Structure 1
Amino acid sequence: MKVTLSYGKQGLTVDVPDTAVVVEPRHLAGLPDEKAAVVNALRHPIGCPPLCEMVKPTDRVAIVISDITRPTPNHKLVPWLLEELSHVPLEQFVIINGTGTHRDQTRDEFIQMLGEWVVDNVRIINNNCHDKSTQAKVGSSRFGCDVYLNKEYVEADFRIVTGFIEPHFFAGFSGGPKGIMPGIAGIETILAFHNARMIGDPAATWGNMEGNPVQEMSREVNRMCKPDFMLNVTLNGNKQITGVFAGELFAAHAAGCEFVKEHVMIRCDHRFDVVITSNSGYPLDQNLYQAVKGMSAAHQIVRRGGTIICAAECSDGLPNHGNYAKILQMRKTPQEILEMINDPSFQMFDQWQVQKQAVIQTWADVYVYSELSDADIERAMLKPTRDIGQTLRELQAKYGDAMSVAVLPLGPLTIPYVAE
């Protein structure tokens, strides 16, 4: 049978065995009037007064957004926020792009993310985690580091964080506190947040918020300089808004996480020999670094010694910025990579993504279908495939005629699990 995977902007249709199990979230239609739903949420928020009543005309307002690797529809949310706060002059707003350790966005990318009117009329900055002069210390974390956040955010009179809630492979769920930590944090704080002990904790996994050290540190940092208001949404596979969660940070985020968990955490009866996954298409599959999330979703249901096939376009390369590719070249096998990262003396930003990838690779083989060259895929210790159907036929010789196959067309927008 044919299945279409979310891949780039166009999708990718693949032939899979008729016996394959397709694992998708329970489909939710997009809201019939997205703007009306968002405005209603701003005026009837969870756990706090209406937004317009909280912001004074004299306030300097910071709006934190997620960067271009996330599908948050800020080209809708930010203009609607500005309309709701029309009593505040535009020159008193600053939009802070929560890049974490990712690269800066260009003007053209900001236009894509926010619309040309916003780019032309509101000041926008990229968070620079490496430039301490742009950060302010707001406290010290019990997880062993000083906490630095973007100075313009800290010094604002009113702080708003936007975002998109989905299951996250080590924070439990995205959105909410993660918009601030690590979105607009300094590198010292981000490195502690993503250290090997935190990322390797069994509780740091998909859909889990309780006892999860990554989520606990994110919440702790947020309490040190808390956003005054959160606006998060949930999306379906077509990137349409399915739910709006606005108000007090922790209460509104908890409501959004429960909503997501109900629709995208899918139980499977057993593990599979082969799991085919995507990385949810553009913008999430822009590079191989991000595609580790799709691999991790498949890891939840592939058997030990099985195979994962990940389709991710990777229009932005490995990427060619950051340390992801560099760390992968520092040892010869995934097991050696894990041993290096778990050494307390080792610390490099981007190690967390390599750590997650290496854990997956010590469990199963991983093939990648993408626009990357075979050499680039092999440099990342992964196996290239140019024809997923052909690769499946070759794997059948390995696993036998009864080879079991699962397909995650939407990648990490669906989180399967096996009760074991």
Structure 2
Amino acid sequence: MQVSLLYGRNGIAVPLPRDADVTLIAKPEMPRLVDPVAAVRRALQSPGESSGAAGLHEIAAGAKSACIAICDITRPVPNHLFLRPMIETLVSAGVPQDQITVLVATGLHRPNLGDELAELIGDPWVLRHVNVVNHDALCDEDHIELGRTPTRQTPVKIDRRFVQADVRIATGLVEPHFMAGYSGGRKVIAPGLAHAETIRTFHNHRFMSDAAAANCNLHRNPLHEEQLEIVKMIGGAYALNTVIDDQRNLSMVNFGEITASHQDAVSFIGQYCRVPVPHRFPTVITSAAGYPLDKTYYQTVKGMVGAIDILEPGGNLIIVSECSEGLGSDDYAAAQATLTRLGSQGFLQSIRHQPFAEIDAWQTQMQTKATEQGTVHLYSSLSPSLQALTGVSIVDDLQATIEASLDASACKSVAVIPEGPYVIPYVQAQVA
């Protein structure tokens, strides 16, 4: 038997032993919008009642400027479907074309430039007609200081191009997120458009170690709560949210007030991304969701954490991730070096009392959640020098690794999650 996992651009076929008891974990079939462009235009013209907003044309009437925030290259957001209709609607409402900015919400990730920026935007017309720029979290002058959040006292500094725009629109993909519960909506603003000081505060050990900072959970999630406070502090915003299926087809799109429209999108994707299973497994095989998410090892951690709730303590978690761009940032490599030098507990102790997290060290902290649950095995294209910094077991032969894991367990039960972190399995309690 073979199963196909998302890996790079083309996927990878993984052979499984004939005697393996395989549980394939995937979303139920999702609806596909027959005419995605028409669906986008309808969303912009007639938001649903629960979105709490008028159509974009009415919202933008009389506005002198607009800023559209988009996710960076790490997420397969269908920007090519909605940016031009959105911009054309703004212009038709009277917003000067030269006062419309598309702002890439990089957070603390690197900028997207050249051919990569063209791929991200997906429509040459957009690049020719409006300003397209990258957010820079380290540039003090680019940000406005808004004070501190009322409950946790996070310092709030947000990109002034977004804050000062008459019309503020966040766009993105709503999917499970291993810290913030779900991506999209408010997350595009913070951390997407936030200053490094803001990001490093609500990504410190205190936030990351909170049990509520988990996949598919918004209830008392400290990151989510801070993000909502930040939205209030900038004076609110609107959002265009998308949901895609496992083939990257548009399944849902909406537009409206940022919090209400995001909640609608969460309610939609929540029906599909959370998949119940009857028990934990000694062997779990997963992916980092393929291109573009698996370009770096940094993003691969999401796939590890997404699967741990169904892994038996001490079990084997086998993950495939191309990592075509290596580990990630130099800061992340430094955090991983500390992890491999000190071990999980030593690393956690070293960051426990830091008010500002070291850049990208939060991903290393999240990795420890997976490695404390079981043994993580990685199949990738990383060079040997980079493999040494992963802190996990390196796999050259997938088939042999799977067979060894099954042979070592008392049963032949194995779970396979082809789509990686886009599907979050959980053990459903059995009714007596």
Alignment TM-score, normalising by the size of structure 1 = 0.96
How far does residue 404 in structure 1 lie from its aligned partner after superposition? 2.0
Verify the 8 A CA contact 2:172 2:242 in the aligned structure 1: yes
How far does residue 219 in structure 1 lie from its aligned partner after superposition? 0.6
Verify the 8 A CA contact 2:40 2:81 in the aligned structure 1: no
| Aligned match of 1:89 | 96
In 2 relative to 1, CA 41–217 (structure 1 residues): closer, same or farther, beyond 3 Å?
A: same
| Aligned match of 1:54 | 59
Q: Does 1:327 align with 2:331?
A: no
| Aligned match of 2:381 | 371
Verify the 8 A CA contact 1:110 1:119 in the aligned structure 2: no
Verify the 8 A CA contact 1:340 1:346 in the aligned structure 2: no
Q: Distance in 2 between matches of 1:59 and 1:107?
A: 29
| CA displacement, residues 237-280 of structure 1 (integer Å, 9 cap, x when unaligned) | 11111001210111111111011111110111111111111111
Verify the 8 A CA contact 1:161 1:227 in the aligned structure 2: no
Q: Does 1:126 align with 2:134?
A: yes
Verify the 8 A CA contact 1:323 1:349 in the aligned structure 2: yes
| Aligned match of 2:28 | 26
Q: Distance in 1 between matches of 2:33 and 2:355?
A: 50
Residue identity opposite 1:20 in structure 2: V
How far does residue 282 in structure 1 lie from its aligned partner after superposition? 0.7
| CA displacement, residues 49-106 of structure 1 (integer Å, 9 cap, x when unaligned) | 1110110355211000000001111122211211222323321101110000100111
Q: Select the residue among 162, 170, 174 that pairs with 1:161.
A: 170
| CA displacement, residues 138-177 of structure 1 (integer Å, 9 cap, x when unaligned) | 2211322320000111111111110100011111111010
Q: Does 1:111 align with 2:118?
A: yes
Q: Distance in 1 between matches of 2:356 and 2:76?
A: 33
CA RMSD, aligned part only? 1.5
| Range moving further from structure 2, 85-94 or 154-163 | 85-94
Percentage of matched positions with identical amino acids: 36
Verify the 8 A CA contact 2:288 2:321 in the aligned structure 1: yes
Q: Select the residue among 229, 239, 249 that pairs with 1:230.
A: 239
| Aligned match of 1:391 | 401
Q: Distance in 1 between matches of 2:227 and 2:256?
A: 18
Q: Distance in 2 between matches of 1:406 and 1:220?
A: 39
| Aligned match of 2:205 | 196
Q: Distance in 2 between matches of 1:6 and 1:39?
A: 31
Verify the 8 A CA contact 1:337 1:358 in the aligned structure 2: no
Q: Distance in 1 between matches of 2:267 and 2:109?
A: 28
- Equivalent residue of 2:342, what SS? coil
| Range moving further from structure 2, 366-375 or 33-42 | 366-375
How far does residue 346 in structure 1 lie from its aligned partner after superposition? 7.1
Q: Distance in 2 between matches of 1:6 and 1:108?
A: 23
- Equivalent residue of 1:285, what SS? helix
What is the total number of aligned residue pairs between the two structures? Answer: 418
Residue identity opposite 1:119 in structure 2: L
Residue identity opposite 1:169 in structure 2: F
Residue identity opposite 2:127 in structure 1: V
Q: Does 1:39 align with 2:17?
A: no
Q: Select the residue among 58, 67, 70 that pairs with 1:65.
A: 70
How far does residue 398 in structure 1 lie from its aligned partner after superposition? 2.1
Q: Select the residue among 83, 99, 102 that pairs with 2:109.
A: 102
How far does residue 419 in structure 1 lie from its aligned partner after superposition? 3.9
Verify the 8 A CA contact 2:64 2:96 in the aligned structure 1: no
Structure 1 moving runs of 4+ over 4 Å: none
Q: Distance in 2 between matches of 1:257 and 1:224?
A: 23
How far does residue 413 in structure 1 lie from its aligned partner after superposition? 1.1
- Equivalent residue of 1:183, what SS? coil
| Aligned match of 1:185 | 194
Alignment TM-score, normalising by the size of structure 2 = 0.94
Q: Does 1:352 align with 2:362?
A: yes
- Equivalent residue of 1:349, what SS? coil
Verify the 8 A CA contact 2:14 2:398 in the aligned structure 1: yes
Q: Distance in 1 between matches of 2:351 and 2:237?
A: 37
- Equivalent residue of 1:357, what SS? helix
Residue identity opposite 1:39 in structure 2: R
Verify the 8 A CA contact 2:283 2:414 in the aligned structure 1: yes
> Which sections of structure 1, spanning at least 5 residues, go unmatched?
none
Query: What are the residue-to-residue correspondences of 1:139-288 with 2, within 5 Å?
Result: 139-141=147-149, 142-288=151-297
- Equivalent residue of 1:329, what SS? helix
| Aligned match of 1:136 | 144
How far does residue 322 in structure 1 lie from its aligned partner after superposition? 4.1
| Range moving further from structure 2, 111-120 or 258-267 | 111-120
- Equivalent residue of 1:396, what SS? helix
Q: Distance in 1 between matches of 2:58 and 2:211?
A: 42
> Which sections of structure 2, spanning at least 5 residues, go unmatched?
none
Residue identity opposite 2:326 in structure 1: G
Q: Distance in 1 between matches of 2:415 and 2:385?
A: 27
Q: Distance in 2 between matches of 1:174 and 1:348?
A: 22
